[in-house]
Amino acid sequence: MTTPPIPVLLYHAVMDDPPDWIAEFTVTPRDFRAQLDVIVASGRTPVTISALAGHFGGRSPLPDRPVVLTFDDGFADLPGPTADALAARALPATAYLTTGAVTPGRRSLLPPAPMMKLSQAPLLERYGMEVGAHTITHPQLDTLPAKALRRELTEPKAVLEDVLGHEVAHLAYPHGYNSPAVRRAALRAGYASAVAVRHALSSGTDESYRIARLILRRSHTVADIEAWMDGRGAPVAPFPDSLPTVGWRLYRRARARLKGPVFAG
What pairs with residue 72 in β-bridges?
96
Alpha-carbon distance 196 to 214, whole Å? 10
| Structure confidence at residue 3 (pLDDT) | 66
Say what the pTM is. Answer: 0.93
> Averaged over 222-226, what is the pLDDT?
98
Which string of DSSP letters, residue by residue, matches 214-235?
EE--TT--HHHHHHHHTT-SS-
pLDDT digits (tens, 9 = 90+) for 153-175: 999 999 999 999 999 999 999 99
Q: In sequence order, which residues have a C-beta less than 8 Å from that of residue 223 and are 6 or more positions away?
A: none
| Structure confidence at residue 100 (pLDDT) | 98
Confidence class of residue 254 from pLDDT cuts 50, 70 and 90? confident
**247 pLDDT above the threshold of 90:** no
Q: In sequence order, which residues have a C-beta less than 8 Å from that of residue 248 and are 6 or more positions away?
A: none
Alpha carbon separation from 76 to 81, 120, 138 (Å, rounded): 9, 10, 17
Percentage of the chain beyond pLDDT 70 is 99
Which string of DSSP letters, residue by residue, matches 170-207?
EEE-GGG---HHHHHHHHHTT-SEEEEEETSBEETT--
**Residue from 232, 237, 20 nearest 112 by CA:** 20
